[in-house]
Amino acid sequence: MWQPQRRKYPSLCVYSTTVLFISLPTDCASAVVQVLRWLLDMLPHAPAVAAFMVDFEAALWQALYKEFPDASIKGCVIHFAQANILT
């Protein structure tokens, strides 16, 4: 059976998983907002999201700020390195 990735920190246990993968135009925050709203409408209740770790797509960041204004959004170091250092 599939299990979510489990990462342990000294006093915190964090679970993370990929919820959705979809290909959208790169600079289209409105399309990302539509997908987020569709996904949220599929859930029985609004999720209590504290933080996101995402790549460095501007449209995704804008959409997350709009739909989850109280959540912390952090960029992934691996994606940052791929985009800026390794290219």
Instruction: Note the pLDDT tens digit of each residue in 31-48.
Output: 888 888 988 898 888 888
pLDDT at 36: 86
Count, in order, helices (H) and strands (E) of the chain: 3, 4
Is the overall model pTM greater than 0.85, yes or no?
A: no
Q: Which two tokens stand for residue 70?
A: 């109280």
When the pLDDT of each residue in the chain is averaged and rounded to a whole number, the result is: 76
29: DSSP letter: H
Who contacts 80 (Cβ-Cβ below 8 Å, separation ≥6)? Answer: 56
9 SS3 class: strand
Top-confidence residue, 20 or 6: 20
pLDDT at 5 over 70: no
pLDDT of residue 80: 76
Round to whole Å and give the CA distance between 47 and 32. Answer: 18
